[in-house]
Amino acid sequence: MTGGFALEQRLRIRVYLEDTDAGGVVYHATYLRFMERVRTELLRAAGLQQSETFQSDVSFVVHSLELAYQRPAMLDDEVEVSCRVAEARPASLTFEQEVTRVSDGEVCCRGRVRVACISIASKRPKRIPPELLERIQAPPAP
């Protein structure tokens, strides 16, 4: 994954039985949970904690997503989930994400997720707070 944004996050996760189907293969929707966790950590690294944004009437909701399943992750695998900001607009962010099996470096799933910033009270789109956009759009560190 390449790009001009400084903000990128990685998270290692062990695959547990609850993450799999009856055959020990990671259930397709589980990848969404893994990706949600790393997006949350990316925003936390930018100084945005959801518990605080809720108090400011700000939340992020998934607007659209596209996933491509490449290889199965299995029970007991360790995977690394990566996330980077691909695009920042006034009221939405687009993330590129991958789930990679640590043992062999195989990409299990790739995703592109667009989240919209909304007002919790009105459930309507809302501009992303300027200070967060500034952090996201900062040039990559040397």
**Looking at the annotation, which residues are catalytic?**
21
CA distance 71 to 74: 10
Q: What is the DSSP string of 67-91?
A: EEE-S--BTT-EEEEEEEEEEEETT
DSSP letter at 17 equals G
The token pair that represents 141 in the structure block = 């560190």
The helix or strand, by DSSP H or E, that contains position 50, with its residue range, turns out to be helix 50-55
Residue partners of 108: CB distance under 8 A and separation at least 6: 26, 31, 69, 70, 71, 72, 73, 79, 99, 100, 101
